[in-house]
Amino acid sequence: MAARNAKYLLVFLYILGIFDVIVAVDYTVTNNAPTTHGGMVFTNQIGADYAHQTLDSATNFIWQIFQENTQDDRKDVNQVDLIIVPSLPPGVVAETGNNQIQFSSDYLGSFSGDVKTEFTGVIYHEMTHVWQWDGNGQVSQKNRGGLIEGIADYVRLKARFIPSGWAQPGDGKNWYDGYSTTARFLDYCDSLMSGFVAQLNKKMKDGYSDGFFQDLLGKSVDQLWSDYKAKYGH
């Protein structure tokens, strides 16, 4: 009897483990600019099915990068909405707020390269904003908003959706310049300690301090930036 009960317990725990892994996030994809040039590019060259698949694959990739293996590790997000909109403010490709991603059809219509690959890379960046921690707003308060964008581009970098025109290793004036400049620096930091970005993100759940770099790597972020620049001859 004891052996049978133990067997049932193991099966129950196994089922719970599977349930934790397969907890689903719902995705919606809406094209609110179907008659614009960019809206038609989305329909004909990307499509709602591929967009849905990309949202899901990006989520799972981000969970791996952030080493968030259980539901308790992650932000409580049950649904993500992608909306193709006619336009966004000048220079804005996409923006994310309240787990909703707005993607500019103007950008899709004007992009001259492989639009499907570019769309995928942007989605990986924007989905990172859905899942990453932001220090309860302290990152922006401390003038480190570039770190948020840098982590999102770091995810895009690791997913190998690297567009032309990105900063090269060693480029940039400050580590918090954001986007690809900060992404390259974070990649350097991760080379010093595997999983650095995941640990940094975890620390940013409740607040933010430049001291997190010292805590994790034993050097101040300014010294790390100097070392990084020196490594690449800048």
pLDDT band at 227 (very low <50, low <70, confident <90, very high): very high
pLDDT band at 232 (very low <50, low <70, confident <90, very high): very high
Joined together, the tokens standing for residue 200 give 């940094």
**Residue 188 near residue 169 (C-beta atoms within 8 A):** yes
Predicted confidence at residue 190, as pLDDT, reads: 98
Phi, psi angles (nearest 5°) of residue 103: -120, 130
Q: What's the rounded Cα separation, in Å, for the pair 191 and 188?
A: 5
- Residue pLDDT, tens place only, 15-30: 445 444 456 899 999 9
Report the sign of the C-alpha dihedral through residues 113, 124, 50, 60, in that order: positive
Joined together, the tokens standing for residue 59 give 């989520």
Q: What's the rounded Cα separation, in Å, for the pair 25 and 38?
A: 27
Q: What's the rounded Cα separation, in Å, for the pair 151 and 156?
A: 9
pTM over 0.85? The answer is yes
Beta-ladder partners of 103: 84, 94
Pick 5 or 66 by higher pLDDT. 66
